[in-house]
Amino acid sequence: MADLKFSHHTNQEQTAPEGSTHTAFPLIALCFGLHMRHVLLSILTALLIVAMTLSAMVILVRATLYVTSIERPLVRAGAMAAELLIGVVLLLGTVWLATHLAVLIFAPKSNPAYGGPLG
């Protein structure tokens, strides 16, 4: 078996001796928990966004049915304006929450002291 190099969140590399049966599996297993957390949070975020979008659409459909049943034109016009405002707020709130959660999940946890590259 050739020299196996591995590192776990450090800048130091460790080398397994020639002929050793030691592998990097324990370190990979430790890293798996971090990656699994990202996967689970991603799935949870996607489900939350889908649920919020569907509930916003149900609210808007019910509001539309209610608004179209109003007989007085002036009151109906005001209700339509309110429905548009509520729709924009609900759907923009869903998009904002989706991007905010994505940034919280996938953003780097530490910033380099020297500023670092932007990309």
Length of the chain measured in residues = 119
- Going from N- to C-terminal start, the domains of the chain cover 24-106
Taking the CA of residue 102 as centre, how many other CA atoms within 13 Å lie in the half-sphere pointing to its CB? 9
The string over 9-24, giving b where at least 16 C-beta atoms fall within 10 Å of a residue's C-beta and e elsewhere, is: eeeeeeebeeeeeeee
What's the rounded mean pLDDT across residues 30-54?
A: 81
Residues 48-106 have pLDDT tens digits of 889 999 999 999 999 999 999 999 999 999 999 999 999 999 989 999 988 898 888 87
